Structure 1
Amino acid sequence: MSPHLISEFRQRFASSGMTPDLVRDFQDEVMEFYEAKGRHEMEWRLRFDPYRIVVSEVMLQQTQVPRVAVMYPKFIEKFPDFAALAAAPQTELLSAWQGMGYNSRALRLQKLARQVTDEYGGVLPEDPELLEKLPGIGPATSCSIAAFAFNRPVVFIETNIRRVFIHYFFADDFVVDDRDILPLVEACLLPDRSREWYWALMDLGTALKTSVPNPNRRSRQYVKQSAFEGSDRQVRGAVLRALLACDGKNIEEIACSVGESGERVEKILGEMCDEGFFVREESGCYRVQR
């Protein structure tokens, strides 16, 4: 959208609020952007299979689109449905997840697949309230799954949607709360095209990342991600790779493999055992949970 048009939206919103005419004009502009510049080629948008939507949404929670675009088709090929993922050995699952980061998502995704298989006969429920009760699915993700898999007219905010609404309607506010944004998201929803509408907003929000200073820094919900280098996240990933490559190592061997102190590695191993990644054997060696 041109700066002139953005300014017009802001002035109209400031003077009269979210009027029907402003809603309609905003919808038209967002959808025109989507038709011209939307990311239509992303593989998880080509089929509305609920399982594939769930996998993509969990992957996209904390991983950038280019990385997911590489990993997603390989993961789907290996685990094509809820039943296959539910039955997969954990070593295979974690090996397939390597390169995605935040490996606990993989464990929660498998728990979700088992719950859907056991409780729902392999059929994902459509109700966001039921989706939110599944492992690893929070309020925003439950709604995004409902929208993308079932075209449900749900209302939610995620980082790109937040960026769009702050940029277009809260230019003069230094702090913007999601409670102020949600009524606008609800007012602007295209109820019969929920799937396309949210894809369009997300694509526009992504485009804004490269063209304007990040509006999300003015969000009350904004949290800056901590540095990865030297973090426990980095060490956790290294420990997991070491044990996937060779099971049955003790603390000293693992610490040597990852180049960290035994004390730090022991702490991380304890946490990851509690989370279900590893098992500590009587010998004092660790292996990946089967």
Structure 2
Amino acid sequence: MLKTEAERHFSRELLNWYRANKRTLPWRANRDPYRVWVSEIMLQQTRVDTVIPYYERFMDRFPTIKALAGAPEEDVLKCWEGLGYYSRARNLQAGARMVMELYGGTVPDDKTAVAGLKGVGPYTSGAIMSIAFNRPEPAVDGNVMRVLSRYFCLEDDIAKPATRVRIEKLAASLIPEGAAGDFNQGLMELGALVCTPKSPSCLPCPVMEHCAGRMAGREQELPIKTKAKPPRPELRVAAIVAGTGANTGKVLVRQRPEKGLLAQMWELPHVLLTKEQEPMLAAGESGAKEQEAMGELLTKAVEADAGLLIRPRRWFMDAEHVFSHIHWTMRFYLADLGAAGEEAKAGVKSDIAAESAAAYETLPPGASAVRSPYRWIGPEDMETLAFPNLFLRILREYWDSIEEGEE
């Protein structure tokens, strides 16, 4: 297939620019497919500067596919803690286990096999095949779609799957012979550093001479992308329950289910408000009536789940966290143990606890009995248990306030 001058110029100048200007990044130290794989999974929806320290820690902890495949999942999640999108970590480990089982611990030089690994989509498989094995496979992400949409003045909506397919074919046709890895990384690099989403730097761009979008004065409006549906708002109230006796200085946490959002991670107990209850939260933390209503909700939830009666005392802070599809707004209350909690601490189970005695976990003498998946933790447990960013932030604020004598 004959290439136009614009296509030849793009391939040639982009490759030359990348080789002369590429950043020194830890995953570029070599072309080991495992290292490439880990980096590409971490870089999904995450900035390079954020990924670097996580990548270095992760590779120190799990230097080989065998090490990752054989590690406890909680260790992998803890190493990933703070990076977000935790399904990426679970899928990466599941993929490593597939490589151990099916390919003897070596990532195969085979597109179909790599694409069949858990969590590996078209972009990641293209990145692994081109960077690690120098195969002429496209690796099309948001950066690449933006660069090519501007350079060729493409008006197709990049949010549509059909557009991605067309751009993948275009990207594949542009790959210079024998330079797939460098070319694909050059495309990503150009989108990250020069042809940025806002205010693209056209003057230092190595391919500006034939950029159709720039020549048409449309570099600011391209690419065309329909707006995604905004995340669904959810209002929640949570309790920071302080322990007593042997658990003084500790707080009550629970582990999330094995499946679903933030699976198997730890969190503070909290309750999702119904539409009818939401106006109470919006009224503000200073309203005594609202605090009483929220406290009652938390008390009932923790008693039903953990077998402990708690006493919410006062508002601590508000916080928000945005997932890709959900926006949590949360109000946190400080709480301590109520009468039933004191009975449990003394070894006397409440009626609710007695009904589910088999579900209780055995704790050290003097500790309050709580149903699994609840447990008491101190600051030292944060070193081993994996928490989502939101709860990490809240717990650190809480323990800082304890040290400063505010409680």
Distance, in Å, in 2 between the alignment partners of 1:250 and 1:24 is 55
User: Does structure 1 conserve the Cα–Cα contact (< 8 Å) formed by 2:123 and 2:139?
Assistant: yes
Instruction: Map 1:278-289 to 2 at 5 A.
Output: 282-283=359-360, 284-286=371-373
3-state DSSP class of the match of 1:122? Answer: coil
Q: What is the distance in 2 between the residues matched to 1:64 and 1:214?
A: 23
State the 1:59 CA deviation: 0.8
Q: Is the contact made by 2:234 and 2:272 (CA closer than 8 Å) also made in structure 1?
A: no
Instruction: List per-residue Cα deviations over 1:146-192 (Å, max 9, x = no partner).
Output: 11111111134211111110011116x36462344233212211130
* Change beyond 3 A, Cα 1:152–1:181: same
Partner of 2:14: 30
Gap change, CA 1:229 and 1:66, over 3 Å in 2? farther
Equivalent position of 1:84 in the other structure: 67
174-183 or 106-115, larger mean C-alpha shift: 174-183
Query: Contact 1:30–1:201 (CA<8 Å) still a contact in 2?
Result: yes
Residue identity in the other structure for 1:37: N
The yes-or-no answer on 1:190 pairing with 2:176 is: yes
Give unmatched runs, 5+ long, in structure 1. Answer: 1-16, 236-244, 252-256, 270-280
Query: Which amino acid in the other structure matches residue 62 of structure 2?
Result: F
Per-residue CA deviation, residues 25-61 of structure 1 (Å, 9 max, x unaligned), is 111221233134322x011011111111111111112
* 8 A Cα contact 1:33 1:204, kept in partner: no
Higher Rg: 2
2:188 corresponding residue in structure 1: 202
TM-score normalized by the length of structure 1 = 0.71
**Counterpart in 2 of 1:73?**
56
Three-state SS of the structure 1 residue aligned to 2:119 is: coil
1:215 equivalenced with 2:229 (yes/no):
no
The structure-2 alpha-carbon separation of the partners of 1:88 and 1:129, relative to structure 1 and needing over 3 Å to count, comes to same
Q: State how 1:94-105 maps to structure 2 within 5 Å.
A: 94-105=77-88
CA distance in 2, matches of 1:179, 1:34: 25
TM-score by length of 2: 0.52
Identity %: 31
Aligned-residue offset at 1:227: 5.9
Aligned counterparts of 1:33 and 1:74: Cα–Cα separation in 2:
30
Is this contact kept in 2: 1:18–1:184, CA < 8 A? no
Q: Which has the higher helix share?
A: 1
> Residue 192 of structure 1 aligns to a residue in which SS?
coil
Cα-Cα RMSD: 3.6
Given residue 59 of structure 1, which amino acid in structure 2 is its aligned partner?
Answer: M
3-state secondary structure, aligned to 2:178 = helix
User: In terms of mean alpha carbon deviation, does 196-205 or 150-159 score higher?
Assistant: 150-159
Q: Does 1:19 align with 2:3?
A: yes
- Displacement after TM superposition at 1:143 (Å): 1.2
Query: Would the aligned equivalents of 1:115 and 1:134 in 2 still touch at CA under 8 Å?
Result: yes
Aligned length: 240
State the distance in 2 between where 1:189 and 1:286 align: 52
| 8 A Cα contact 2:235 2:273, kept in partner | no
Select the structure with the greater relative contact order (CA < 8 A; seq sep ≥ 6).
1
C-alpha displacement of 1:128: 1.6
In the other structure, the counterpart of 1:109 is: 92
State whether structure 2 residue 131 is matched by structure 1 residue 148: yes
Matched-pair contact (CA < 8 Å) for 2:146–2:222: yes
- Are the structure 2 counterparts of residues 77 and 132 from structure 1 closer, same or farther at C-alpha, using a change threshold of 3 Å? same
* 2:254–2:268 Cα contact (<8 Å) kept: no
User: Is 1:260 the counterpart of 2:263 in the alignment?
Assistant: no
- Aligned counterparts of 2:34 and 2:147: Cα–Cα separation in 1: 28
